[in-house]
Structure 1
Amino acid sequence: MEVPSFTQTQLDVAEIKNGYLKILDQLQQKIKTSTDDKDPKSIDDIAKLTGYTKKTLYGYCQKNTIPHYKKNGRLFFFKSEIVAWIQQGKQKTINEIESENDEFFDAKNKRLK
Structure 2
Amino acid sequence: MKELILTTYTREEFLDLVKEAIRSELSQFPPNTPKQTDKPLTIEEASEFLNLTKATLYGKVSRREIPVMKRGKKLYFSMSDLIAYLDKGRVKTFEELNEEAQIFLNRRKLRR
The residue correspondences of 1:1-113 to structure 2 (distance < 5 A) are 35=35, 37=37, 39-112=39-112
Identity level (%):
29
**Post-superposition offset of 1:51:** 0.5
| Structure with greater Cα Rg | 1
* Alignment-mate amino acid for residue 77 of structure 2: F
Normalising by structure 2, we get a TM-score of: 0.58
Give ranges in structure 1 of 5+ residues lacking alignment: 1-32
Assess, with a 3 A threshold, how the Cα gap between structure 1 residues 109 and 37 changes in structure 2: closer, same or farther: closer
**Post-superposition offset of 1:49:** 0.6
Question: Considering only aligned residues, what root-mean-square deviation do their CA atoms show, in Å?
Answer: 2.3
Normalising by structure 1, we get a TM-score of: 0.58
* Alignment-mate amino acid for residue 91 of structure 1: V
Q: Measure the CA separation in 2 of the matches of 1:72 and 1:59.
A: 18
Structure with more helix by fraction: 1
Relative contact order higher in (CA < 8 Å, ≥ 6 apart): 2
**Post-superposition offset of 1:87:** 2.2
